[in-house]
Chains A and B, each alone.
Chain A
Amino acid sequence: MASVELPVLKPGDFGSDQDVRWCPGCGDYSILAQMKKVMATLAWPREKTVFVSGIGCSSRFPYYMNTYGMHSIHGRAPAFATGIKSCRPDLHVFVITGDGDALSIGGNHFMHVVRRNVNLNIVLFNNRIYGLTKGQYSPTSELGKITKSTPMGAIDNPMNPLSLAIGCEATFVARSIDVHIKHLADTLKRAAEHPGVSFVEVYQNCNVFNDGAYKYATDKSVKSDNIIEIEHGKPLIFGKNRDKGIRLNGMQPEVVELGKGITEDDLLFHDELAPEPTLAYLLSRMRYPEFPEPIGVLRCVDAPRYDELLNEQVAQARAEKGEGDLDKLFHSGDTWTVT
């Protein structure tokens, strides 16, 4: 049998004819570029892919992809995406969102789409600021953050997106960084291929309103001490000379130096497949500057998917009761005839 070859698509084929209108230097450009690159490797027909977004700078994303797309309303993208995926399991559906969109106005929908494990790919651009509305603090802004709406400093305790997702039993949870382009592309690809909800937090620089928020994680001179690239089955090692690691002390992680009697075997080994989310949660809690912040896949497990279950129920009902017959339904139960 002759195989039918899909046309080979290049990243450029995924760009729409619309001008990209993010600020020059915005981290969003990098995420867009990596997404197009990943799309070209996935061999999905373009017409089978839908990008759904809410409101915010990140949410202009669907306009720039030559796929199907919907720029919806603030915070609600997960709900639109749930409707699409529930009706059309054949489509690959992405949710593009920001820290304000997903965690503030959309916090409720985020929580529910994750716990339902709808087979969607959620990419959260986290710049820890409101960009589109010009510089107010966001749910991930740090305590004390001075912005236009917090001239004396933010007094809201910031939210931890990874911890939140894991708390909602997310089946795939990962983090990457806009400028670590290879890591970002690999992470997005794994997320796209995950059956079930995937959640990727991308540290993204807003060079206008919050420039350098992630300098500790991107600056070449310090980043290897401040981030730790986690891999399944490998020990948690970091540092420019790969001489530091994370060890568990009871329930607490601690930074240790290798050598001086401590070997790799003493370190915490990453297990993204752990059925219990305990380890993933512990990793999500490691924050700069006390710890190096993990990037990579924290959790990747299998669980029933809402959209599949819904469609299975429809199929099961049809198998058990037969395709619905309206005339039969109308005449069911008590009826009477007038002549």
Chain B
Amino acid sequence: MSTEFESETDHSKAVLKIEEATVRFCGDSGDGMQLAGTQLTNTSALAGNDVATFPDFPAEIRAPRGTLAGVSGFQVHFSSTDIYTPGETVDALIAMNPAALKTNIADLKSGGVLIANSDAFDKKSLEQAGYDDNPLEDETLDSYQLFQVPMTDMTRRAVEGLDLSQKEADRCRNFFAMGLAFWLYGRSLEPTRRFIDLKFKKLPGIAEANRRALTAGRNYGETTDAFVSSFSVDKAKLSPGTYRNMTGNQALAWGLMTAARLSEKELFLGSYPITPASDILHELSRYKNFGVRTFQAEDEIAAICSAIGAAYSGHMALTTSSGPGIALKGEAMGLAVMLELPLLVVNVQRGGPSTGLPTKTEQADLLQVMFGRNGECPMPVISARSPADCFEVAIEAWRVAARFMTPVMILSDGYLANGSEPWRIVNYKDLKPIPITHPEAPTNGKPFMAYERDELLARPWAIPGTPGLMHRVGGLEKADGTGNVSYDPINHQHMTDTRAQKVANVAQVIGDQEVMGDPTGDLLVLSWGGPYGSCRTAVTRLQAEGHKVSHAHLRWLNPFPANLGEILRRFKKVLIPELNMGQLSMLIRNQFLIETIGLNKVQGKPFQVAEIIDKAKTLLP
């Protein structure tokens, strides 16, 4: 449904117009902070702002209440201009308890709005958070605009008479916090009320309580003397079109379904749950009427193996995971390379090694997906740059997999997967079809050649059920042409070269690398994946200051675009910011024999724009 509405905030108080704001909700995991953030995001998007979000939550489902380990946060950046990041420092922080305050206060900008649930600052909670004194009562928060709001008490009073237990009443606090934040930024309560109606359809008492808490929060902002003004952010001047808010995982799932339709295929997903990739499985499981078959396998290996079976049988096949699962899938990926079947492997990266930081982001699986298989085993690798970009990446990946008869790795990461931004809705009929043909039995009496190649070195995709094309595939080396088992040494060399050349040929269809800014200069910022937004924002600011800096963002990591080497050599220096210890740098240096400068960080967090600007400035004349 398309939604147009006016802000409900009556303007009895002053309204300050601002260009953008970054707001963060933080509290215990279980306090509903992700929900609060999502609602503020959607409402801001519906109000016409550009938005970008950064959910940040612990790996524990419910860490002990009030502890530093259990703090969950959701940051939303909304703006009247195009934005590419979920914000740097925070303009407004809503802290539900002392632990949340302690772990988040460092990100609040000086003079920023700090709303604290004062009811939660009791002796026990303060001790749990490691505070000797109540920070709301000493001078430590003097550099912020502190608002102490007894949210627990006011929420309880708002839901009085609804026959709720105290626990149930207290769970409405996040709606109170939302209502207050909505007032502060002139947001309508209507979309959230609709959300409540839908979400709690079967629990009318809870729905009413949340509705009341939401309104109470808004009314509190409006009536209390504490707040003298609220803020307004104009609509962003996005390109014309109809938009919706999308997370990366949702955009990826929808892109995959779209790719299936474009190629007239039904989609099969073999998957095993793993953070932060599971939502792709959840999302796809809802769309069986699109011909989507999802199989929750017994483990990561069965997940990919079932997908390879589906690919052999003629379906668009997919497996989704994160780094540890990708490690387990390695042998089967090697088989898919040998069988030369189209297959998509999605790696939503998280902090590693091993179990690492399951809920935090990292870009450190690049070398794993490039080389983490036995033998000479090249696979094309594509990466998404933003949540909405996952949609297009999914389609492009399948286009290549089907055209070249090869498994393709799609890289996303936790930050893209859970973060969201507006997606300009496409018309299905405007998308380019993905033509796929399956061979029929040869009529000239010659035997079917399962490994005969076309001009780009792809082999035919013959599917079971077709008369006259019976053939056997397997992991043993194939004789060129026939596909029969072959131990011939020269053939093995030839097939190894052929598989490598086939992947290299992908460069012929992916197009040239583009550069934002001048084609030559003092510095090129080269990025891939999630840091796109921070790099783009940083380079734009540096350019505005008159620096000769340009930005190139890679979508394909294997193969690289054909003109990449030439671009790199046109700049005096190349800076590669990565959320790893220098993996793209290693590949670039190896392939192009040029010096690169890394900006590397593995802290479970995306880059801040300032970090990239600061580093770039040390490299500029």
Which A residues have a C-beta under 8 Å from some C-beta of B? 16, 18, 45-48, 50-52, 55, 62-63, 65-73, 76, 78-88, 90-91, 108-109, 111-112, 310-311, 313-314, 316-318, 320-324, 326-327, 329-339
CB-CB under 8 A from A317, the residues of chain B are 287-289
Q: Contact: A336 with B306, CB < 8 Å?
A: no
Q: Contact: A329 with B238, CB < 8 Å?
A: no
CB-CB under 8 A from B45, the residues of chain A are 334, 336
CB distance from A38 to the nearest CB of B (A): 17
In the bound complex, CA of A331 to CA of B317 (Å): 26
CB-CB under 8 A from A316, the residues of chain B are 288
CB distance from A72 to the nearest CB of B (A): 6
Q: Contact: B313 with A84, CB < 8 Å?
A: yes
CB-CB under 8 A from A85, the residues of chain B are 309
Residue from B47, B470, B484 within 8 A of A67 (CB atoms): B470
CB-CB under 8 A from B468, the residues of chain A are 47
Q: Contact: B288 with A313, CB < 8 Å?
A: yes
- 17 A-B contact pairs sorted by A residue (CB < 8 Å): A18-B484, A47-B468, A71-B475, A78-B302, A79-B270, A79-B301, A79-B306, A83-B270, A83-B310, A91-B465, A112-B302, A311-B293, A329-B287, A331-B425, A335-B1, A335-B425, A338-B243
| Least CB separation from A105: chain B residue | B301
B244 interfacial by beta-carbon distance below 8 Å: yes
Residue from B239, B245, B288, B469 within 8 A of A314 (CB atoms): B288
Interface residue ranges of B282-312 to A (CB < 8 Å): 287-293, 295, 297-299, 301-303, 305-312
Q: Contact: A82 with B244, CB < 8 Å?
A: no
- Further 13 A-B residue pairs, CB within 8 A, beyond A84-B312, A334-B1, A336-B242: A46-B470, A52-B309, A70-B339, A71-B475, A84-B464, A109-B301, A310-B293, A318-B291, A326-B258, A331-B242, A332-B1, A334-B191, A335-B425
In the bound complex, CA of A109 to CA of B464 (Å): 23
Q: Contact: B289 with A321, CB < 8 Å?
A: yes
| Least CB separation from B472: chain A residue | A69
Residue from A55, A83, A311, A320 within 8 A of B309 (CB atoms): A83
Residues of B within 8 Å of A, CB-based: how many?
A: 77
Whether A334 touches B46, Cβ cut-off 8 Å, given contacts A70-B472, A80-B309, A83-B295, is yes
Q: Contact: B309 with A81, CB < 8 Å?
A: yes
**Residue picked from B292, B314, B428, most chain A C-beta under 10 Å:** B428
**Residue picked from B45, B48, B313, B471, most chain A C-beta under 10 Å:** B313
| Least CB separation from A18: chain B residue | B484
In the bound complex, CA of A255 to CA of B268 (Å): 52
CB-CB under 8 A from B238, the residues of chain A are 338
Q: Contact: A18 with B302, CB < 8 Å?
A: no
CB-CB under 8 A from B295, the residues of chain A are 82-83, 86, 310
CB-CB under 8 A from A335, the residues of chain B are 1-3, 242-244, 425
In the bound complex, CA of A339 to CA of B191 (Å): 21
| Least CB separation from A52: chain B residue | B309
Q: Contact: A48 with B297, CB < 8 Å?
A: no
Q: Contact: A87 with B315, CB < 8 Å?
A: yes
| Least CB separation from B428: chain A residue | A326
What is the 8 Å Cβ interface bit string for chain B, positions 39-55, against chain A (1 contact, 0 not)?
00010011110000000
CB-CB under 8 A from A55, the residues of chain B are 475
| Least CB separation from A45: chain B residue | B467
In the bound complex, CA of A63 to CA of B236 (Å): 62
In the bound complex, CA of A100 to CA of B394 (Å): 38
What is the 8 Å Cβ interface bit string for chain B, positions 456-500, against chain A (1 contact, 0 not)?
000000001111111111111000000011000000000000000
| Least CB separation from B262: chain A residue | A326
Q: 5 tightest A-B contacts by CB?
A: A83-B309, A71-B474, A324-B290, A83-B306, A79-B305
Interface residue ranges of B21-80 to A (CB < 8 Å): 42, 45-48
What is the 8 Å Cβ interface bit string for chain B, positions 241-271, against chain A (1 contact, 0 not)?
1111100000000100110010000101010
Whether A83 touches B308, Cβ cut-off 8 Å, given contacts A76-B301, A88-B464, A321-B289, is yes
In the bound complex, CA of A81 to CA of B307 (Å): 10
CB-CB under 8 A from A65, the residues of chain B are 472
B331 interfacial by beta-carbon distance below 8 Å: yes
B454 interfacial by beta-carbon distance below 8 Å: no
In the bound complex, CA of A84 to CA of B475 (Å): 17
Residue from A80, A111, A336 within 8 A of B243 (CB atoms): A336
In the bound complex, CA of A316 to CA of B339 (Å): 34
CB-CB under 8 A from B291, the residues of chain A are 314, 318, 324
CB-CB under 8 A from B10, the residues of chain A are none
In the bound complex, CA of A311 to CA of B427 (Å): 29
Q: Contact: B310 with A86, CB < 8 Å?
A: yes
Whether A323 touches B289, Cβ cut-off 8 Å, given contacts A73-B335, A334-B245, A335-B242, is yes
CB-CB under 8 A from B331, the residues of chain A are 73
Q: Contact: B289 with A48, CB < 8 Å?
A: no
In the bound complex, CA of A62 to CA of B469 (Å): 15
Q: Contact: B1 with A83, CB < 8 Å?
A: no
CB distance from A75 to the nearest CB of B (A): 9
CB-CB under 8 A from A80, the residues of chain B are 305-306, 308-309, 312
In the bound complex, CA of A73 to CA of B329 (Å): 11
CB distance from A94 to the nearest CB of B (A): 12
CB-CB under 8 A from B46, the residues of chain A are 334, 336
Residue from A47, A52, A69, A83 within 8 A of B467 (CB atoms): A47
| Least CB separation from B334: chain A residue | A73
B189 interfacial by beta-carbon distance below 8 Å: no
Q: Contact: A83 with B474, CB < 8 Å?
A: no
| Least CB separation from A62: chain B residue | B472
CB distance from B254 to the nearest CB of A (A): 7
Whether A83 touches B464, Cβ cut-off 8 Å, given contacts A73-B331, A336-B46, is no
CB-CB under 8 A from B268, the residues of chain A are 83, 86-87
Q: Contact: B484 with A339, CB < 8 Å?
A: no
Interface residue ranges of B206-248 to A (CB < 8 Å): 235-245
What is the 8 Å Cβ interface bit string for chain B, positions 138-176, against chain A (1 contact, 0 not)?
000000000000000000000000000000000000000
In the bound complex, CA of A69 to CA of B42 (Å): 50
B544 interfacial by beta-carbon distance below 8 Å: no
In the bound complex, CA of A335 to CA of B48 (Å): 10
Residue from B239, B245, B313, B474 within 8 A of A338 (CB atoms): B239
B426 interfacial by beta-carbon distance below 8 Å: yes
CB-CB under 8 A from B485, the residues of chain A are 18, 63
Q: Contact: B476 with A71, CB < 8 Å?
A: yes
CB-CB under 8 A from A51, the residues of chain B are 472
CB-CB under 8 A from A91, the residues of chain B are 313, 464-465
CB-CB under 8 A from B427, the residues of chain A are 327
Q: Contact: B254 with A83, CB < 8 Å?
A: no
Q: Contact: B302 with A79, CB < 8 Å?
A: yes
In the bound complex, CA of A16 to CA of B236 (Å): 66
Q: Contact: A336 with B4, CB < 8 Å?
A: yes
Residue from A66, A68, A323, A332 within 8 A of B464 (CB atoms): A68
CB-CB under 8 A from A311, the residues of chain B are 293
B417 interfacial by beta-carbon distance below 8 Å: no
B332 interfacial by beta-carbon distance below 8 Å: yes
CB-CB under 8 A from A109, the residues of chain B are 298, 301-302, 305
Q: Contact: A330 with B2, CB < 8 Å?
A: no
Interface residue ranges of B326-378 to A (CB < 8 Å): 331-332, 335, 339
Q: Contact: A72 with B293, CB < 8 Å?
A: no
In the bound complex, CA of A3 to CA of B485 (Å): 40
| Least CB separation from B427: chain A residue | A327
In the bound complex, CA of A317 to CA of B266 (Å): 14
CB-CB under 8 A from A67, the residues of chain B are 470
In the bound complex, CA of A48 to CA of B464 (Å): 6
In the bound complex, CA of A50 to CA of B309 (Å): 11
CB distance from A172 to the nearest CB of B (A): 21
Residue from B3, B301, B314, B428 within 8 A of A87 (CB atoms): B314
In the bound complex, CA of A335 to CA of B45 (Å): 9
Q: Contact: A337 with B242, CB < 8 Å?
A: yes
CB-CB under 8 A from B306, the residues of chain A are 79-80, 82-83, 86
Whether A326 touches B425, Cβ cut-off 8 Å, given contacts A108-B298, A338-B239, is no
In the bound complex, CA of A335 to CA of B191 (Å): 11
In the bound complex, CA of A233 to CA of B596 (Å): 79
